[in-house]
Structure 1
Amino acid sequence: MKTALCTISFRHQLVSFRELAELAARLGYDGIELWGAHAAQLHELNRRQAEEDLARLRAHGLGISMVSHYVDISPEADFAASCDSCQRLIERALWCGAPRLRIFAGSRGSAELDGGERRVVIEQACELGALCREAGVQLLLETHPATLLDTPAMAAEMMRLADALRPGAALLNFDALHLWEAGGEPSACWRALKPWIGYVHLKNIDRLEHVGVFRPDIVYAAGGSREGMVALGDGAIDYEPLLELAAGEPELYGSVEWFGGDPAGMLARESVWLRGRIARAQAAAAGALR
Structure 2
Amino acid sequence: MRLAFSTLGVPGLPISEVVRLAADTGFHGVELRAHPEEPVHPGLSLTKRVEVVEQFKAAGIEILALAGYAKAAAPGDDDDFLRETRGLLELARDLGAPWVRVFPGGGDSGAAEAEATAVRRLSTVAPLAADLGARVLLETHDSHRTGAAAAPILREVDSPWVGSLWDVMHSWLGGEQPEETLRQLAPYLGYVQVKDIASAADTTPLPPGAGVLPLAEVTELLSRAGWDGWLCWEYEKRWYPDVPDLAEALGSVREHLLRLLSAAA
Contact kept? 2:147, 2:182, Cα under 8 Å: no
Task: Specify the alignment match of 1:142 in structure 2.
Answer: 139
Counting helix residues as a fraction of each chain, which structure ranks higher?
1
Q: CA RMSD in A?
A: 2.3
Q: 1:257 aligns with which of 234, 240, 252?
A: 234
Task: Specify the alignment match of 1:158 in structure 2.
Answer: 153
- Between the aligned partners of 2:80 and 2:48, the Cα distance in structure 1 is 30
Is it true that 1:170 corresponds to 2:162 in the alignment? yes
Question: Mean alpha-carbon deviation: is it higher for 48-57 or for 78-87?
Answer: 48-57
Structure 1 segments unaligned to the other structure (5+ residues): 212-227, 283-290
Is it true that 1:31 corresponds to 2:9 in the alignment? no
- Between the aligned partners of 1:117 and 1:53, the Cα distance in structure 2 is 36
Is it true that 1:124 corresponds to 2:134 in the alignment? no
- Between the aligned partners of 1:117 and 1:256, the Cα distance in structure 2 is 29
Structure 2 segments unaligned to the other structure (5+ residues): 238-242
Give the paired residue count: 256
State the shift of 1:45 in Å: 5.4
CA deviation vs aligned residue, 1:105-164 (integer Å, no higher than 9, x gap): 23417xx4142442122121221222112211101000012x2x233322233222222x
State the shift of 1:170 in Å: 1.5
Flag the 1:39–1:2 CA change in 2: closer, same or farther, 3 A: farther
- Between the aligned partners of 1:175 and 1:245, the Cα distance in structure 2 is 15
Contact kept? 2:141, 2:167, Cα under 8 Å: yes
Identity of matched residues, % = 25
Is it true that 1:190 corresponds to 2:190 in the alignment? no
Task: Specify the alignment match of 1:54 in structure 2.
Answer: 53
Contact kept? 1:27, 1:268, Cα under 8 Å: yes
State the shift of 1:266 in Å: 1.5
Flag the 1:48–1:236 CA change in 2: closer, same or farther, 3 A: same
Contact kept? 2:73, 2:104, Cα under 8 Å: yes
Tell me which structure has the larger Cα radius of gyration: 1
- Between the aligned partners of 2:136 and 2:8, the Cα distance in structure 1 is 19
Counterpart residue type for residue 53 of structure 2: L
Q: 1:15 aligns with which of 13, 16, 24?
A: 13
- Between the aligned partners of 1:133 and 1:21, the Cα distance in structure 2 is 28
Task: Specify the alignment match of 1:2 in structure 2.
Answer: 2
- Between the aligned partners of 1:125 and 1:196, the Cα distance in structure 2 is 13
Flag the 1:249–1:61 CA change in 2: closer, same or farther, 3 A: farther
Flag the 1:185–1:72 CA change in 2: closer, same or farther, 3 A: closer
CA deviation vs aligned residue, 1:62-92 (integer Å, no higher than 9, x gap): 2100001012434633222322222211121
Counterpart residue type for residue 24 of structure 2: R
TM-score, length of structure 2 as denominator length: 0.87
Counterpart residue type for residue 171 of structure 1: G
